[in-house]
A and B are shown apart, each in its own frame.
Chain A
Amino acid sequence: EAGVAQSPRYKIIEKRQSVAFWCNPISGHATLYWYQQILGQGPKLLIQFQNNGVVDDSQLPKDRFSAERLKGVDSTLKIQPAKLEDSAVYLCASSLDRRVSPLHFGNGTRLTVT
């Protein structure tokens, strides 16, 4: 089966600019996650979707981050405006079932904010 697709792989922007990341989950996976992984740390959940509804966005900095999953398939994560501390790898993952299925990760987008 095709894996989770993410683009772009790398992005360099200046602080206060905006950026968007795209994710296409595995076909049939209802649950989609965005994680932020800062260097030297484990992935931190930003937002979780079940189909096109938000299940958990408690750790999403909503003043600058937004995400949507139109039609319950692809998803976009946006940062506007970016700060230096947003430099990280942004991982998208999907799973069949919210509770018992393992996560399938994409390769991630490495964001550098200068």
Chain B
Amino acid sequence: AQSVSQHNHHVILSEAASLELGCNYSYGGTVNLFWYVQYPGQHLQLLLKYFSGDPLVKGIKGFEAEFIKSKFSFNLRKPSVQWSDTAEYFCAVNEGRDDKIIFGKGTRLHILP
């Protein structure tokens, strides 16, 4: 069955540090990939998405993610985090031939001011 793994459950960083959150998925065919973010007290919202084309995708607030097909990975990165990036981040995958969107367990990111 299709699955999504997020390696880090809780990450604590200081402001201006670089961020990389890992995401791996199990399906070997065509996939659509997403990162969603949930800020404290707010609803889940889309951060960025990959459907096809350039494997390096840029999202809102300076985030980017790279799709590496050979590694079944879609890691999220940001060169310099801010206190306002404190949130929970979810990786999600949709098989190309299926409508179902599967979410990872999430990574809780805490940025120290």
- What residues make up the interface of A, taking CB atoms closer than 8 Å to B? 3-4, 31, 33, 35, 40-45, 48, 55-56, 91, 93, 98-100, 102-108
Interface 1/0s, chain B 34-59, versus A by CB < 8 A?
A: 10100000111110010100000000
B100 within 8 A of A: yes
Of the candidates B4, B101, B106, the one whose C-beta lies within 8 Å of that of A103 is: B101
Of the candidates B43, B46, B103, the one whose C-beta lies within 8 Å of that of A42 is: B103
Question: Which residue of A has the minimal Cβ distance to B94?
Answer: A99
The answer on a CB contact under 8 Å between B45 and A100 is no
What are 13 A-B pairs with beta-carbon distances under 8 A? Answer: A3-B43, A31-B99, A41-B106, A42-B4, A42-B104, A43-B44, A43-B103, A44-B103, A45-B101, A91-B43, A99-B94, A103-B44, A105-B36
Shortest CB–CB separation between residue A93 and chain B, in angstroms?
A: 8
B residues in contact with A31, CB < 8 Å: 99
The answer on a CB contact under 8 Å between A55 and B99 is yes
Bound-state Cα–Cα, A98 to B101, Å: 10
B residues in contact with A108, CB < 8 Å: 43
Interface residues of B in 35-94 (CB under 8 A from A): 36, 42-46, 49, 51, 90, 92, 94
Shortest CB–CB separation between residue B111 and chain A, in angstroms?
A: 20
Interface size class of B (residues with CB under 8 A): 20 to 34
- What residues make up the interface of B, taking CB atoms closer than 8 Å to A? 4, 6, 32, 34, 36, 42-46, 49, 51, 90, 92, 94, 99-106
Bound-state Cα–Cα, A2 to B55, Å: 32
Of the candidates A33, A41, A56, A102, the one whose C-beta lies within 8 Å of that of B34 is: A102
Shortest CB–CB separation between residue A90 and chain B, in angstroms?
A: 13
Q: A42-B105, A42-B106, A98-B99 are in contact. List 9 more A-B contacts (CB 8 A).
A: A40-B105, A41-B105, A42-B4, A42-B92, A43-B44, A45-B102, A48-B99, A105-B36, A107-B42
